[in-house]
């Protein structure tokens, strides 16, 4: 079972990492050929999946709903974006070493905080460390003061709004409303070269695999059980001798770091980062991906992030007006009828089928074996107080 599980992981990982790039390098005429556009699109989805994994860690497991993950995503993206801006050098419109928007804003010298971003190692460190540090400090202050539930969610939403307002200001020297764009190359590789984009896709997919394994390790360790325990009864955790605040700060920080990595990988593939990507609305959208995919499973957020965004790109090309309705509808449906999301619901149905047949099958969903087989329990309801939901119609059938 254990070794078989490992092989399945390896196979899925290989397909994820190598599959699309291989199909992309097929000759254009081939029926299996995947266009550069599609590869790039999925590269973006994969970065979203990394972010969603982080959100799931804190929301799905610890039951803490953060409405500010756009900020951490943005910090990672801006850190990488700043390096890419500097890499443009004199290839810019104004042929100036300064980024174009600074010339436009009559800035004559590169601001001090931009300078370290010439260095690649510093940039890579900043991508993880800046969101991590912000989350650490923010989490420490809020969780230690025992701010929880809805109050925490509201404060993180305020954080997202603050970040959005701040990054919008021209005086911040971060490109204002237009953000950072016009990148030419990444670490010396031209961004317009399809091979570079393939490389970025592979890097994103590898990061997703690593993120998955890290989350899986955390979730399966006793610390992961403490996270679930915090969701169930924080006071009991405290009286068991653990500090819930410390665990929440830890998982919030890890989650922010994953978001930062996702942002950095995003910016190279999409070619632009603006404050519009980091505010209140995108942060809520991210929550919807996780809710739709299935909280409390590791496969759920990946499926949700890729699935919802894929659907969005399909729908917006054909019925652009419909998308927001569909997105809202999906969220309502999940809240009312499928609190476990797509993966959670499938898992439960499969579990019921399995116990009905009395046979044990390999559990696909992130290796999340329920600790029990007789009484299937659904994952806890949304962290925010919600109206009592009627049991899903399919439940008792």
Partner 1 sequence: MTINAAAEGSIIYLEDVTVEYDGFKALNALNFFMDYRELRVVIGPNGAGKTTLLDVITGKVQPSAGRVIFGKSTDLTGRRENEIAGLGVGRKFQTPSIFANLSVRENLELSLARPSKGVLATLRARLDGVQRARVEETLETIGLGGRGAERAGGLSHGEKQWLEIGMVIVQQAELLLVDEPVAGMTDEETARTAELLVTIARDRAVLVIEHDMEFVRSLARKVTVLHEGRVLCEGSVDQVQQDERVREVYLGRSGSKQAAHA
By CB under 8 A, name the binding residues for partner 1. 218, 221-223, 225-226, 228-229, 231-233, 235-243, 246-247, 250, 370-375, 377, 379-380
Contact between 227 and 219 under an 8 Å Cβ cutoff? The reply is yes
Beta-strand relationship, 185-186 and 189-190: antiparallel
Taking the complex as a whole, the smallest distance from the CB of residue 223 to partner 1 amounts, in Å, to 4
Contact between 118 and 161 under an 8 Å Cβ cutoff? The reply is no
Taking the complex as a whole, the smallest distance from the CB of residue 288 to partner 1 amounts, in Å, to 23
Q: Which is nearer to partner 1, 95 or 225 (CB)?
A: 225
Instruction: Report the chain's C-alpha Rg in angstroms.
Output: 22
Taking the complex as a whole, the smallest distance from the CB of residue 130 to partner 1 amounts, in Å, to 21
Query: What residues are paired with 252 via a beta bridge?
Result: none
Q: Which is nearer to partner 1, 27 or 241 (CB)?
A: 241
C-alpha span between 140 and 86 (Å, rounded): 34
Taking the complex as a whole, the smallest distance from the CB of residue 367 to partner 1 amounts, in Å, to 16
Q: Which is nearer to partner 1, 186 or 211 (CB)?
A: 211
Q: Which two tokens stand for residue 107?
A: 């800035």
C-alpha span between 340 and 334 (Å, rounded): 8
Taking the complex as a whole, the smallest distance from the CB of residue 254 to partner 1 amounts, in Å, to 10
How many C-beta neighbours within 10 Å does residue 132 have?
23
Q: Which is nearer to partner 1, 163 or 228 (CB)?
A: 228
Q: Which is nearer to partner 1, 74 or 294 (CB)?
A: 294
Taking the complex as a whole, the smallest distance from the CB of residue 8 to partner 1 amounts, in Å, to 24
Q: Which is nearer to partner 1, 370 or 392 (CB)?
A: 370
Contact between 261 and 75 under an 8 Å Cβ cutoff? The reply is no
Outline where 120-193 has alpha helix (H).
120-144, 149-168
Nearest one of 318, 39, 49 to 209, comparing CA atoms: 49
Q: Which two tokens stand for residue 189?
A: 């590789």
Q: Which is nearer to partner 1, 27 or 371 (CB)?
A: 371
Query: What residues are paired with 186 via a beta bridge?
Result: 189
Taking the complex as a whole, the smallest distance from the CB of residue 18 to partner 1 amounts, in Å, to 31
Contact between 187 and 203 under an 8 Å Cβ cutoff? The reply is no
Q: How far are the Cα atoms of 94, 309, 336 from residue 323, in angstroms, in the given order? A: 39, 11, 20
Q: Which is nearer to partner 1, 49 or 230 (CB)?
A: 230
Nearest one of 14, 17, 384 to 200, comparing CA atoms: 17
- Extract the runs of DSSP E, i.e. beta strands, from 189-338: 189-190, 272-273
Taking the complex as a whole, the smallest distance from the CB of residue 350 to partner 1 amounts, in Å, to 17
Nearest one of 199, 195, 157, 191 to 88, comparing CA atoms: 191
Taking the complex as a whole, the smallest distance from the CB of residue 256 to partner 1 amounts, in Å, to 15
Q: Which two tokens stand for residue 261?
A: 């990595």
């Amino acid at each position: 079972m254990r070794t078989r599980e490992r092989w399945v992981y390896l196979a899925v990982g290989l397909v994820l990492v190598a599959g699309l790039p291989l199909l992309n390098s097929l000759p254009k005429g081939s029926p299996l050929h995947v266009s550069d556009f599609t590869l790039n699109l999925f590269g973006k989805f994969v970065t979203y999946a990394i972010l969603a994994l982080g959100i799931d860690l804190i929301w799905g497991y610890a039951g803490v709903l953060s409405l500010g993950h756009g900020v951490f995503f943005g910090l990672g993206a801006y850190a990488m974006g700043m390096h890419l801006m500097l890499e443009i050098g004199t290839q810019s419109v104004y042929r100036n070493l300064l980024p174009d928007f600074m010339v436009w804003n009559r800035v004559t010298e590169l601001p001090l905080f931009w300078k370290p971003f010439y260095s690649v190692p510093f940039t890579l460190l900043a991508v993880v460390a800046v969101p991590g540090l912000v989350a650490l400090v923010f989490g420490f202050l809020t969780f230690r003061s025992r701010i929880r539930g809805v109050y925490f969610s509201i404060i993180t939403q305020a954080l997202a709004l603050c970040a959005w307002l701040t990054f919008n200001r021209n005086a911040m020297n971060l490109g204002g409303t237009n953000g950072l764009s016009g990148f030419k190359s990444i670490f010396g590789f031209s961004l317009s070269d399809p091979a570079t984009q393939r490389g970025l896709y592979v890097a994103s997919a590898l990061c997703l695999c690593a993120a998955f394994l890290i989350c899986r390790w955390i979730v399966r360790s006793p610390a992961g059980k403490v996270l679930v325990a915090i969701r169930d009864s924080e006071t009991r955790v405290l009286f068991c001798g653990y500090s819930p605040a410390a665990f929440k700060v830890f998982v919030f920080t890890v989650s922010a770091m994953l978001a930062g990595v996702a942002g950095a990988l995003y910016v190279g593939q999409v070619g632009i980062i603006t404050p519009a990507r980091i505010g209140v609305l995108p942060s809520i959208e991210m929550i919807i991906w996780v809710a739709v995919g299935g909280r409390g499973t590791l496969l759920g957020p990946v499926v949700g992030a890729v699935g919802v965004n894929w659907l969005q790109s399909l729908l917006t090309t054909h019925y652009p007006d419909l998308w927001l309705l569909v997105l809202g509808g999906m969220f309502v449906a999940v809240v009312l009828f499928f609190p476990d999301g797509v993966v959670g619901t499938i898992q439960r149905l499969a579990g019921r089928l399995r116990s009905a047949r009395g046979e044990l099958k390999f559990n696909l969903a992130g290796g999340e074996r329920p600790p029990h087989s007789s009484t299937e329990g659904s994952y806890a309801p949304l962290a925010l107080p919600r109206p009592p939901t009627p049991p899903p119609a399919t439940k008792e059938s």
